[in-house]
């Protein structure tokens, strides 16, 4: 009977050998195996916990960075009261809060009003996501930089009536405050790089990508649309599906006797893009998963090694599988 690792290797090879719609069908089989095969599922869960641990450590660092940036914010408004726009209210567009994508929302994002909303964790807060970093401290640092820049290089009207930034630093005394923000941001970026490294080396990012694609192979579930919030969520989900080209993916991976070839050049390009990205993601998932499974030891193999161990040893730590074998148990089993 093939081992879990052998079944995983075979499933990975089948994905790599396939192409077009069949590639995604085999990819779905690979994901199903990681969920159904207990040793593989346990290995994947262990890798996930490793990634989560790194994220938890960063969350602790993030709280410390937030405190430091809040202290700098207080010092900034004392030195430059004109920078304090904390009384601004998040604007509304057609009765709803202005999203970050709108001009009104973008402008409000870089105010001390949003800074305080983030500190207080209110519904009005807007967090700017940079790559995978959606931390509070990342946005707070960006807000302070924007406010300091506005004070040092304020908008001015030229003799021709045009509005532009001052070419000279109006508040050079704030350079020290800006340097403090830079120092905190440097440590924040370094801390988050560790999270990114953990997410990558454990295959967490890549598996998230694969699972998202596989989820779109299934028939789309009807979303509730009774409340305005539900309607907005349904529209956003539909928009994300179309923008990501998942509608083409779902159609192409229907049963072969039903689904035909992609009807347009655009559809073919989208399918090829998803396939290329998933091939890369599969390599990044399979490598740490295989290494984790290779670290496990089957009991017969372990016992075979134990037979050559002197009986006076109280226990054996199998570093590869992280297994501790107590001598008392071995004596009962008749091994030593």
Residue in 227, 222, 214, 254 with CA at minimum distance from that of residue 238: 222
Q: Select the more confidently predicted residue: 17 or 241.
A: 17
- Does residue 79 contact residue 174 with C-beta atoms inside 8 Å? yes
Place of tokens 């120092």: 183
Where in the chain are the domains? 1-296, 299-333
The token pair at 149 is 């820049």
Beta strands in the chain (DSSP E): 92-93, 96-97, 155-157, 163-165, 315-318, 323-326
Q: Select the more confidently predicted residue: 102 or 53.
A: 53
Count of CB atoms situated within 10 Å of the CB of 282:
21
* Predicted local distance difference test score (pLDDT) of residue 261: 58
Mean pLDDT, residues 45-64: 95
Stretch among 13-17, 72-76, 159-163, 265-269 having the lowest mean pLDDT: 159-163
Mean pLDDT, residues 78-106: 87
The token pair at 273 is 């893009």
Banded pLDDT at 52 (limits 50, 70, 90): very high
Mean pLDDT, residues 116-121: 96
Identify the burial level of 162 via C-beta atoms within 10 angstroms of its C-beta, where 0-12 means exposed, 13-18 middle and 19 or more buried.
exposed
Region label for 105, one of left (φ > 0), alpha (ψ between -120 and 50) or beta (otherwise): alpha
Return d(Cα 126, Cα 111) in angstroms, integer. Answer: 10
- Does residue 217 contact residue 246 with C-beta atoms inside 8 Å? no
* Predicted local distance difference test score (pLDDT) of residue 226: 81
Q: Parallel, antiparallel, or unpaired: how do β-strands 96-97 and 92-93 relate?
A: antiparallel
| Res. 258: pLDDT tops 90 | no
- Does residue 270 contact residue 249 with C-beta atoms inside 8 Å? yes
Mean pLDDT, residues 190-208: 94
- Does residue 174 contact residue 148 with C-beta atoms inside 8 Å? yes
Q: Convert the pLDDT of each residue in 313-325 to its tens digit.
A: 333 333 333 333 3
Return d(Cα 136, Cα 129) in angstroms, integer. Answer: 10
> Which residues are paired to 326 by β-bridges?
315
Return d(Cα 188, Cα 182) in angstroms, integer. Answer: 10
Return d(Cα 7, Cα 19) in angstroms, integer. Answer: 20
* Predicted local distance difference test score (pLDDT) of residue 303: 40
Q: Convert the pLDDT of each residue in 265-308 to its tens digit.
A: 888 898 999 999 999 999 999 999 999 999 853 333 344 333 33
* Predicted local distance difference test score (pLDDT) of residue 238: 78
């Amino acid at each position: 009977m093939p081992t879990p690792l052998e079944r995983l290797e075979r499933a990975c090879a089948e994905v790599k050998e396939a192409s077009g719609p069949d590639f995604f069908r085999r990819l779905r089989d690979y994901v199903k195996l990681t969920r159904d095969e207990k040793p593989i599922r346990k290995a994947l869960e262990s890798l996930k916990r490793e990634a989560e641990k790194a994220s938890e450590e960063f969350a602790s660092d993030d709280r410390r960075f937030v405190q430091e940036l809040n202290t700098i914010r207080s010092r900034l408004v004392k030195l430059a009261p004109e920078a304090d726009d904390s009384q601004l209210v998040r604007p509304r567009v057609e009765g709803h809060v202005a999203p970050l994508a709108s001009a009104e929302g973008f402008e409000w994002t870089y105010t001390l009003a949003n800074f305080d909303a983030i500190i207080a964790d209110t519904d009005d807060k807007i967090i700017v996501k940079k790559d995978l970093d959606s931390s509070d401290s990342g946005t707070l640092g960006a807000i302070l930089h924007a406010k300091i820049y506005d004070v040092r290089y304020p908008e001015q009207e030229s003799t021709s009536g045009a509005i532009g930034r001052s070419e000279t630093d109006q508040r050079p005394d704030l350079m020290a405050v800006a340097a403090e923000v830079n120092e905190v941001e440097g440590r924040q970026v370094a801390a988050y790089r560790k999270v990114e490294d953990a997410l990558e080396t454990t295959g967490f990012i890549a598996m998230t990508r694969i699972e998202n694609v596989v989820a779109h192979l299934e028939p789309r579930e009807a979303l509730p649309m009774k409340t305005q919030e539900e309607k907005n969520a349904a529209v956003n989900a539909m928009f994300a599906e179309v923008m990501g080209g998942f509608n083409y993916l779902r159609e192409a991976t229907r049963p072969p006797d039903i689904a035909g070839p992609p009807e347009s050049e655009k559809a073919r390009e989208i399918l090829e893009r998803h396939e290329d990205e998933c091939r890369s993601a599969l390599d990044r998932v399979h490598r740490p998963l295989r290494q984790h499974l290779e670290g496990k030891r089957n009991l017969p193999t372990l016992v075979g090694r134990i037979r050559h161990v002197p009986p006076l040893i109280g226990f054996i730590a199998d570093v590869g599988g992280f297994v501790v074998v107590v001598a008392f148990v071995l004596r009962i089993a008749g091994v030593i």
